[in-house]
Amino acid sequence: MRIDSAREGPREKLERLGLGALALMSDTELLAMLLGHGGSGVSAHHLAQALLDRAAGLHGLTRMSRDEMCQMPGIGAAQASRVLAGLELGRRTLTRRPAERLLLAAPSVVAAHLLPRYGAHPVERFGVVLLDTRQRLLRTRIVSEGTLDTSLAHPREVFRAAVAGGAASVIVFHNHPSGDPEPSRDDHALTVRLARSGVVVGVPLIDHLILADGAYWSFREHGLL
């Protein structure tokens, strides 16, 4: 089916082309998405263009109040509030520095981060810590949850999360509800599988930690990774 790009709205473009479409959209199209809908027989695109004309361009919107926007035929209080909220979010991305990412270069630091969150849990859970190129924390995800004494983890789930999250390397972990962090034979075998899979995928496995209340066991500390 042939798509009429001339009649395609910004939301349809976003659905069809993905996030990259946003960078290709005009100011009018982006503003129309914030407005959400038109009014008084006028489309959101026409309202957006009229608002930009009234503001004398995109930067002028930052000097308009909600009441001024609502004076435009077809623009209600909710639409004006959405526009102002979008402008404020954009301003904050420029004025606020992102929080410094936690450096997880040593197993003891990783354990100090993970134990309070995942160490004392009644069932076994398996998670992955996603790291950037400098071994700083991107995010942590639980990829499986088991019964009282077992959790199934497959390299597919671990590295799917890693690739989707843009990780340069990963640390995996799971807890032992028994309170004993000593690894089992299955834990050793799984670590070997994960390390091999990481080489194939191009996302190295840095460590595998086993957590148990206030104690931990690190494959890296024991020279096994």
List strand residue ranges (DSSP E) for the chain, in order. Answer: 125-131, 137-145, 169-175, 205-212, 215-218
pLDDT at 4: 45
Residue 75: count of CB within 10 angstroms of its CB: 25
**Reported confidence tier of residue 199, pLDDT bands at 50, 70, 90:** very high
Helix, coil or strand: residue 25: coil
Average pLDDT on 165-185 reads 94
44-71 burial code (b ≥16 CB/10 A, e <16): bbebbbbbbeebeeeeebeebeeeebee
Helix, coil or strand: residue 212: strand
Q: Classify residue 197 as exposed, middle or buried by CB count within 10 Å of its CB (0-12, 13-18, 19+).
A: middle
Predicted confidence (pLDDT) at residue 6 exceeds the cutoff of 60: no
Question: How is residue 14 written in tokens?
Answer: 């976003």
Strand order, beta sheet including 125-131: 137-145, 125-131, 169-175, 205-212, 215-218
Question: Where is pLDDT greater, at 223 or 153?
Answer: 223
Give the domains, in start order, of the chain with CATH numbers: 10-95 (1.10.150), 107-218 (3.40.140.10)
pLDDT at 215: 94
Return the closest-CA partner of residue 198 out of 157, 166, 169. 169
Per-residue model confidence as pLDDT tens digits over 47-88: 899 899 999 988 888 898 899 989 888 888 999 899 999 888
Question: Where is pLDDT greater, at 6 or 203?
Answer: 203
Query: Which of 33-42, 52-61, 66-75, 169-178 is the least confident region?
Result: 33-42
Return the closest-CA partner of residue 34 out of 91, 68, 75. 75
**How far is residue 114's CA from residue 81's CA, in Å, rounded to a whole number?**
40
Average pLDDT on 108-129 reads 93
